[in-house]
Amino acid sequence: MKKAFKMHLFPGEAGEYQRRHDEIWSELSDLLKETGISDYSIFLDEESNTLFGVMNVTDVEKLNELPNHPVMQRWWIYMSDLMQTNADHSPVVKDLKKVFYLP
């Protein structure tokens, strides 16, 4: 299953957001793969500071458990100064609806 979503980056934080993802923790990368996430990309609309994420997910149940994992929670705290977040430091995420697909 392909999942697409958007998040909002604070103005002026694009460079730091990129740097932190360029140096993604190996334990987080491993966790995402173990959760069944692959082909994961995040794009930035520099005019609106909107981040667009797209990923393949093989196991929705494992994906739903991801917020409970300590590594994920630490990443959220680490990233929370750069983007809009919820009270638990998770990013404010809006799922996107697929309207077209070209196989």
Round to whole Å and give the CA distance between 1 and 23.
27
Q: How far apart are CA 43 and CA 52, in angstroms?
A: 5
Q: How far is CA 7 from the centre of its chain?
A: 8
**Which position among 8, 21, 69, 89 bears the catalytic label?**
21
- Asked whether the beta carbons of 41 and 24 are under 8 A apart, the reply is no
69 labelled catalytic:
no
Whole-angstrom Cα distance, residue 41 to residue 27?
18
Active site residues: 21
